[in-house]
């Protein structure tokens, strides 16, 4: 009997993780990526304990844990530099059973690509869209830009926040909505003596600095803004106006980065959940299924969870038409909740009213003094996730009897 075949649309973090996980479990996999080559995209990523455990499914968890750089303190600061709340890497790891590892997205993509088994074929320069989602009795099919049609037992659409596949599967869904803020990201060299990860919360503005294993820092910022606004003098100049008077090392980081290195994106999210994360034999994965705000740093981690769960749901020796519904049952309730909690967290970190900001900051200080571990509660039920067992094991065993 021929092995089950999966087509993956998109070779980002989620798509590569899904390809590796399915390939490890006996599927033949073809990954279709529209870009002519895999190049560094984005800036940094914080792999939370749940993301590391998802990587365990494809054998990468320990390799990423070895890249851990945060071993001391970190926390939340005011624009003046005053600490509002602090925690330690060991306290966070003890609470959730694993550390948080900070690295560049390019480094993670390289690790995932190197982990692809021989049963996975990666085709770059190949744009694809879903032509037929298939059914229990009919395979799914996609068409590529050259007009060719390819069928598969399973299609994994990891084609991003503006997913063409999602529009095909759920044409009545409103799609992503503007979340009310814009973000900037860049990588730059770490200033001497500055190694503690932190976020700084102001009025309608947030700044984050996270050290990476390669000696650089991952910087991100967010500000309440109308959609589509762009400054005439460049994004670095905009950041200097917004954050140039904030505490050290923020001015030093901005002085060191060229304008061309600053990425800016308005934040959109799928606050209206999909009715399912699949239709027919097509599953949606990552931002295509549940784009979220960066408030909890869970976008990439949830994509990795998707990949791990899909592999646990997809029996290469069974009926591939059953995997998508299993996947939705596991993922839709969780991702819907994480999207909502991320939205709440983003609103809290970018409050604009003076009084509400004072109350927020005072609450952080009080919690830090009275219950130092309280700041970690925002991640309870998220960072302590573990992959489910193979959902098809019991059924396969009973069928064999």
> Which pTM does this prediction carry?
0.94
Residue 379 lies in a domain: no
The reply to whether 302 falls in a domain is yes
Q: What is the CATH number of the domain that holds 291?
A: 3.50.50.60
Share of the chain above pLDDT 70, in %: 97
Which tokens hold the place of 255? 């002085």
Residue 52 lies in a domain: yes
Q: Is residue 254 part of a domain?
A: no
* Residue 299 or 68, more confident: 299
In a domain, 233, yes or no: no
Question: Could you tell me if residue 257 is inside a domain?
Answer: no
Count of domains for the chain: 1
Q: Is 87 part of any domain?
A: no
Dist CA 398 CA 401 (whole Å): 5
The yes-or-no verdict on residue 173 having pLDDT over 80 is yes
SS3 for the chain, per residue?
A: CCCCEEEEECCCHHHHHHHHHHHHCCCEEEEECCCCCCCCCCCEEEECHHHHHHHHCCCCHHHHHCCCCCCCEEEEECCCCCEEEEEEHHHHHHHHCCCCEEEEHHHHHHHHHHCCCCCEEEECCCCEEEEECCCCCCCEEEEECCCCEEEECEEEECCCCCCHHHHHHCCCCCCCEEEEEEEEEEEEECCCCCCCCEEEECCCEEEEEEECCCCEEEEEEEEECCCCCCCCCCHHHHHHHHHCCCCCCHHHHHHHCCHHHCEEEEEEECCCCCCCCEECCEEECCHHHHCCCHHHCCHHHHHHHHHHHHHHHCCCCCCHHHHHHHHHHHHHHHHHHHHHHHHHHHHHHCCCCHHHHHHHHHHHHHHHHHCHHHHHHHHCCCCCCCCCCCCCHHHHHHHHC
Average pLDDT over residues 212-221: 94
pLDDT at residue 391 in the model:
58
Residue 27 counted as domain residue? yes
Instruction: Calculate mean pLDDT across residues 48-58.
Output: 97
Q: Looking at residues 239-247, what average pLDDT do you find?
A: 98
Residue 268 confidence class, pLDDT cut points 50, 70, 90: very high
CA distance 357 to 202: 7
For 291-328, how does the pLDDT look when each residue is reduced to its tens digit (9 = 90+)? 999 999 999 999 999 999 999 999 888 899 999 999 99
What is the model's pLDDT at position 196? 84
The domain in which residue 330 lies consists of 5-70+105-176+270-350
């Amino acid at each position: 009997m021929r092995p089950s075949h999966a087509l993956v649309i998109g070779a980002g973090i989620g798509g590569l993780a899904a390809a590796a996980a399915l390939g490890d479990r006996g599927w033949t996999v073809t990954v279709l990526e529209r870009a002519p080559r895999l190049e560094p995209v984005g800036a940094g990523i914080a792999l939370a304990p749940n993301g590391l455990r998802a990587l365990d499914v494809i054998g990468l968890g320990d390799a990423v844990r070895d890249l851990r750089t945060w071993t001391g303190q970190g926390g939340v600061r005011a624009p003046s530099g005053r600490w509002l709340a602090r925690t330690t890497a060991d306290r966070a790891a003890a609470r959730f059973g694993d550390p948080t590892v900070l690295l560049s997205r390019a480094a993670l993509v390289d690790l995932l690509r190197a982990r692809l088994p021989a049963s996975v074929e990666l085709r770059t320069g190949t744009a694809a869209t879903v032509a037929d989602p298939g059914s229990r009795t009919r395979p799914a099919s996609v068409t590529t830009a050259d007009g060719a049609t390819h069928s598969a037992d399973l299609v994994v659409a990891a084609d991003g926040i503006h997913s063409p596949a999602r529009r095909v599967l759920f044409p009545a869904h409103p799609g992503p909505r503007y979340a009310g803020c814009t973000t900037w990201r860049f990588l730059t060299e770490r200033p001497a003596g500055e190694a503690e990860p932190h976020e700084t919360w102001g009025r309608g503005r947030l700044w984050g600095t996270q050290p990476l294993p390669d000696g650089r820092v991952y910087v991100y910022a967010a500000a309440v803004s109308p959609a589509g606004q762009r400054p005439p003098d460049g994004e670095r100049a905009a950041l200097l106006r917004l954050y140039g008077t904030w505490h050290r090392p923020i001015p030093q980081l901005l002085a060191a980065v060229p304008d061309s290195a600053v990425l800016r994106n308005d934040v959109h999210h799928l606050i209206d959940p999909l009715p399912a994360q699949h239709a027919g034999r097509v599953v949606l994965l990552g931002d295509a299924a549940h784009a979220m705000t960066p408030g909890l740093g869970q976008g990439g981690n949830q994509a990795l969870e998707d990949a791990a769960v899909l592999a646990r749901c997809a029996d290469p020796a069974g009926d591939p038409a059953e995997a998508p519904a299993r996947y939705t049952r596991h993922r839709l309730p969780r991702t819907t909740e994480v999207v909502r909690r991320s939205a709440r967290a983003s609103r809290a970190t970018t409050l604009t009213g003076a009084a509400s900001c004072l109350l927020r900051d005072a609450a952080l200080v009080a919690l830090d003094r009275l219950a130092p571990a309280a700041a970690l509660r925002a991640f309870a039920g998220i960072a302590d996730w573990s992959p489910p067992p193979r959902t098809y094991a019991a059924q396969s065993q009973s069928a064999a009897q």
